[in-house]
Amino acid sequence: MVGIRAGWTGSLAAGLLLAAGLASTQEITQGRYQVLELEGDLEWASGPPELISMESREQVTVRALRAFGRLPEAYSRLALELRGQGVDLFSAGPAEVRDLLTRARSGDLNVDPGMLEGLLALLEDRDYLDWAPLSPGDTVTLTDQTPFRGQGEVVLETESGERQRFATREDDRPGLQEAPADALVLPEPVEQWWAQWNQRLEALQGPLAFDAPPELVPLGDGRFQTRLASVAVRVPWPREGYDDSWIPLDGVAVTVGPFEDERIPFQVSLPSEASVVTEEGERLARLDLSAPRLEGLWADDLGVMLETRFTMGPSAMTVGYGPSPDAEVDHPQDHGRRFDAESPRRIAVDGMDVMLDLQDSGAGLFSGPLAMEIKGLDMVSMTDQSMVTLGRLAFRVDYQGMDLAALATLSEHTATPERLMEQDPAELLADTLKAMGGFESAFELSELLISGPEDHQSFRLSGGRAQTGFVPSANDELHRDLWAGMSVKGWAFEDGNRHERVQFKAGSAAMEGRLEGVSPKALLHLGMQSMMTGEVEEDVVLGMAREILGGLALTMSLDDARGVFMDGEGEILDSGDVKNFHLNLGLEELDGPAPSLHLDYAHGGVAPFAAAMPSFPHELFPGGVALVVKADGLPSGFLADADVVEGLRTGRLDPMGVLLEQLVNNASRLDIPELAIEFPEGQIRVSGQGRAQQADETGPNRVSGEWDVSIHHLDALAEPLLATASEDERQQINAMVVMLKMLAETPESDDPGSIHQYHIQADSLGQIWVNGNDLAPLLEGLNQ
């Protein structure tokens, strides 16, 4: 094998050749063909398959023609006449008839030489078959034994689109052979392109192996074709003792062209069967592929694929040892020695589709998807137990505005460390960001079931999705918005043994994080300073705080979740539940002096595991919570003021004074439209707002707020606290309950006294009013 790897043994080469079934020339194989081109006059024959088989082996006799009804009656009578002279004409083939003709012409045999001449012509010209001329446009069914006669060349196309050029043989054998490629001259542009591709193929030696650079053969319509002889692809094999394994491929044909411009289409014909073999030629697995097909569009000016499409029907890989590539796979008797019982025996898919489609969206910017879809995956273990079933798996990346030419130039400029060091980091980063454009990706799967070797081991998903994004920000092409998230539905998990097991299930769950307006340039600046000085000064970080990020968001949700611990009999030992949970947190305008925040949180139907909170009274656990918060004008602007930061650090400035000034300058406001806390025996609800107010004739700068609070079933909420408190603590709790009742308003209800309401007004000057009662004197008295 040429160019595969130094040190390969002859047995490996022999094994790969055997697996690929290589021959010095390509023969016509069985199938339907379309005649595309014809030079000269060629005919092809049909007839009884057995007779054609005898003809291909040069075993046709007069008796055989008589048996197939292909012998004219005159020659049957001739054979009977010669029998009287001791001649068995029925057993004669062309050579024997030729000898009899010589005897007849010399007078040694009493027979009309003209009759033997006619019989010899019938045999040599094979007129006993049904002959038809080949014509361009014809569709014919041929085999490797189909007879041909005449002189010329023909281009045939298979149903899969592969084209082959055949010519009459130069030797005395009948039929056709592949037209020699060395007599063909390629156009100069094609010759240059092919030389460059041979260099690319040579660079792939190692993971890809082939005997020698293949030839490129014109097909006559502007397209060209090559056959990759003895191709082998190196693949990892997850088993100790097999460092390298290979997949030899037979019948790989590549068709390229036409070469009308620098966008060159191609098609690849792939084999339907292959094996995974060791370096010694031992078979580890068999691949059975249904109608694999690869095609696409190569951009020669950019050096990249713009379009690619790979499709495959129902296919499978069967794992099992065989002493040679073509031996039967025998896994049951051998898996104990070479394969684990829990390792896969068979992996099957209903189909696969891989697609790349990059289109020029203008100004040399390319956009489009890279997508893969697998349908109906099924994995079975060596013990014939189902390991994995999957309804569908799909992956897709949508590229947006890639400058492929600029990316190629950048790759050249950074090809070596020396060239990389010559580049200005900020300019290189800016050029790279502009050339990259953006992308969004999504990964989806449905109906996934993973079964463990034990009875109580499984993982199930009805559906799942993960997504990421990296796109230019709307307000700055050098800033980026990025996000990542995932979601699942119908999630169920079980693990354990006959003594104990755990189960978990969830109707749905989701999580996503987003960063908006990220400045790679600012991050580069901080990174460069850290690399050069070993640390980043605090003043620099604070000064750039508003340049790094524009906003962030986090969302989480969980619905209908339940976890259970059970013993071997299935009795529940502990359990936890979450009926619903969601979190929506956002920070906006972080690159400005007055960011804003919003928070939306809720959970309901929450019951924790008892083992997680053994001493906590369940009556005090909030099974339901709802909270909505919105804050505008957050006081972060001082972080960008080096003088203020220095004053706070040295104590020259009062932190509360700085904070109050920032709140007032930003017109800060806090709104809590809802806070509801549900307990098993009661409820607390809060709503209100706070705001910063600038000094006026009524007073100085201040922060004030108004809040409405209601407590449902105050006594019931206090009971679990009293039950676990000490004597002193109980006195304090009772005093607090009495004071809350004194301050409260109790509206009319079906359960008198069950609701206590409070309207609270307070500010940073120390004023506090509850339901119109000034509490400042009371609080002053308590503090003395």
What residue ranges do the domains of the chain occupy? 1-22+191-339, 48-128, 681-783
Q: pLDDT grade, residue 11 (50/70/90)?
A: very low
Dump the DSSP string for 17-47.
Answer: HHHHT--SSPPP-SEEEEEEEEEEEEEEEE-
Per-residue pLDDT at 336: 45
564 vs 260, higher pLDDT:
564
584 Cβ neighbours under 8 A, 6+ residues apart: 553, 554, 555, 598, 599, 600, 601
290 Cβ neighbours under 8 A, 6+ residues apart: 272, 312, 313, 314, 315
Question: Which residue in the block uniquely carries the two structure tokens 């069985």?
Answer: 30
Task: Fill in the amino acid letter for 781.
Answer: G
Q: pLDDT grade, residue 770 (50/70/90)?
A: very high
Q: pLDDT grade, residue 783 (50/70/90)?
A: low
Residue 325, preceding peptide bond in cis (omega within 30° of 0): no
> Does residue 413 have a pLDDT over 90?
no
In whole angstroms, what is the distance from residue 34 CA to residue 39 CA?
Answer: 15
Angle at which helices 655-665 and 642-650 pack, to 10 degrees?
A: 150
* Phi and psi, residue 74, nearest 5°: -60, -35
Per-residue pLDDT at 612: 78
What token pair was written down for 232?
């082998």
- The candidate with the shortest Cα–Cα distance to 768, out of 757, 780, 752, 756, is 780
pLDDT tens per residue across span 338-363: 667 777 889 999 999 999 999 998 88
Q: Are 271 and 323 in contact (CB under 8 A)?
A: no
In whole angstroms, what is the distance from residue 458 CA to residue 760 CA?
Answer: 54
Per-residue pLDDT at 330: 61
* Phi and psi, residue 150, nearest 5°: 115, -170
Q: Are 499 and 472 in contact (CB under 8 A)?
A: no
Per-residue pLDDT at 6: 27
> Does residue 57 have a pLDDT over 80?
yes
Q: pLDDT grade, residue 762 (50/70/90)?
A: very high
What token pair was written down for 551?
């906003």
406-424: average pLDDT = 80
In whole angstroms, what is the distance from residue 582 CA to residue 259 CA?
Answer: 57
Rounded to 5 degrees, what angle do the CA atoms 248, 252, 255 make? Answer: 155
In whole angstroms, what is the distance from residue 447 CA to residue 460 CA?
Answer: 7
Q: Are 711 and 745 in contact (CB under 8 A)?
A: no
> Does residue 20 have a pLDDT over 50?
no
pLDDT tens per residue across span 153-184: 888 888 766 777 788 765 555 567 666 544 45
DSSP H helices in 380-424: 404-413, 417-421
> Does residue 337 have a pLDDT over 60?
no
246 vs 684, higher pLDDT:
684
Q: Strand, coil or helix: what is 642? A: helix
Q: Are 40 and 346 in contact (CB under 8 A)?
A: no
- The candidate with the shortest Cα–Cα distance to 142, out of 152, 154, 150, 126, is 154
Angle at which helices 113-124 and 94-106 pack, to 10 degrees?
A: 160
3-class secondary structure per residue, 46-104? ECCHHHHHHHHCCCCCHHHHHHCCCCCHHHHHHHHHHHCCCCCHHHCCHHHHHHHHHHH
Question: Which residue in the block uniquely carries the two structure tokens 């508003």?
Answer: 546
Q: Specify which residues 165 forms β-bridges with.
A: 155
Per-residue pLDDT at 580: 95
> Does residue 327 have a pLDDT over 50?
yes
In whole angstroms, what is the distance from residue 315 CA to residue 326 CA?
Answer: 18
Q: Specify which residues 264 forms β-bridges with.
A: 298
How many percent of the chain have pLDDT more than 90? 33
Tally Cβ neighbours within 10 Å of residue 399. 21
CA atoms within 13 A on the CB side of 205: 15
Q: Specify which residues 678 forms β-bridges with.
A: 624, 683
In terms of Cβ atoms closer than 10 Å to its own Cβ (0-12, 13-18, 19+), residue 669 is middle
pLDDT tens per residue across span 285-311: 888 999 899 999 999 888 889 999 999
In whole angstroms, what is the distance from residue 500 CA to residue 566 CA?
Answer: 6
96 vs 6, higher pLDDT:
96
Per-residue pLDDT at 562: 94
Per-residue pLDDT at 747: 86
> Does residue 596 have a pLDDT over 90?
yes
The helix (H) or strand (E) run that includes residue 160 is none
> Does residue 218 have a pLDDT over 90?
no
Name the least confident of 153-157, 365-369, 399-403.
153-157
- The distance in angstroms from the start CA to the end CA of the chain is 97
Q: Give the β-pairing of 176-178 and 224-228.
A: unpaired
- The candidate with the shortest Cα–Cα distance to 441, out of 463, 464, 466, is 466
Question: Which residue in the block uniquely carries the two structure tokens 């611990």?
Answer: 565
- The candidate with the shortest Cα–Cα distance to 680, out of 633, 624, 630, is 624
Q: Are 298 and 190 in contact (CB under 8 A)?
A: no
Task: Fill in the amino acid letter for 607.
Answer: A
Binning the chain into helix, strand and coil, the percentages to the nearest 5 are 25, 45, 30
Tally Cβ neighbours within 10 Å of residue 377. 19
pLDDT tens per residue across span 631-664: 999 887 776 677 777 777 788 888 888 888 888 8
Tally Cβ neighbours within 10 Å of residue 326. 13
Say what the alpha-carbon torsion angle 204, 209, 210, 211 is, to the nearest 10 degrees: 120
689-713: average pLDDT = 88
Per-residue pLDDT at 439: 94
* Inter-CA distances, 482 with 292, 298, 592, Å: 37, 31, 19
Which of the listed ranges 430-439, 440-449, 633-642 does the model predict with the highest average pLDDT?
440-449
pLDDT tens per residue across span 462-507: 999 999 999 999 888 889 999 999 999 999 998 887 778 899 999 9
281 vs 468, higher pLDDT:
468
